[in-house]
Structure 1
Amino acid sequence: MREWLIKIREERGYTQEQAANKADIERSYYNMIERGKRRPSVDVAQKIGHALHFEWTCFYTKECNEKTPCEGLNHQHEQGGDI
């Protein structure tokens, strides 16, 4: 379970459907990513990171694939920048 991803999505006020739509992917695929059943491709990770305003490389770190978010996970969002 990628609890960090759920937390970010909920902090942004999005449902899974809304997050998936913003990332231009299917909700079922987004759900599998959030539950840790699928690892997103680089392209999809970038889309999700851009949609939810966080550093997409977090999908590929050990810390983020467990329960604890990466250091600086919300860096882009806090500064108001886009990825």
Structure 2
Amino acid sequence: MMPSCRMKLRRTVARNLRRLRQQSGLTQEELADRANLNRNYVGMIEREENSPTVDALEQLSVALNVSPVSFFQVD
């Protein structure tokens, strides 16, 4: 049960990150620059290949000017 919960949460974060980034009109590279993260890391989060750290979520939320909670909202 736990692995599927993690995958579902990872998917939710990935989809919300992609949606928020696109709504802001930013490329992955532009977002990564604003968040002081590696572009490949942002892409891996969006593709569900990597789970973001709490620190990375904070950096991304500041760069996107949203609450960190936004990454966990279910449509």
Q: TM-score, normalised by structure 1?
A: 0.65
Identify the residue that residue 55 of structure 1 maps to in structure 2: 67
Q: Percent identity?
A: 32
Q: Does 1:42 align with 2:57?
A: no
- How far the C-alpha of 1:17 sits from its partner, in A, is 0.2
Identify the residue that residue 81 of structure 1 maps to in structure 2: none
Aligned length: 62
Q: RCO greater where, 1 or 2, for CA within 8 Å and sep 6 or more?
A: 2
Query: CA deviation digits over 1:37-80, x for unaligned, max 9?
Result: 11111111100011012222444xxxx3xxxxx17xxxxxxxxx
| Alignment partners' CA distance in 1, 2:52 and 2:34 | 15
Asked if the contact 2:17/2:46 (under 8 Å) is kept, the reply is yes
**How big is the alpha-carbon RMSD for the aligned residues of Structure 1 and Structure 2?**
1.7
| Alignment partners' CA distance in 2, 1:55 and 1:37 | 23
Corresponding residue SS for 1:25? coil
| Alignment partners' CA distance in 2, 1:55 and 1:16 | 19
Structure 1 gap ranges (5+): 65-69, 72-83
**How does 1:54-73 map onto structure 2 within 5 Å?**
54-59=66-71, 64=72, 70=73
Structure 1 consecutive aligned stretches of length 4 or more whose deviation exceeds 3 Å: none
| Alignment partners' CA distance in 1, 2:65 and 2:48 | 20
The structure carrying a bigger helix percent of its residues is: 2
Structure 2 gap ranges (5+): 1-10
Corresponding residue SS for 1:51? helix
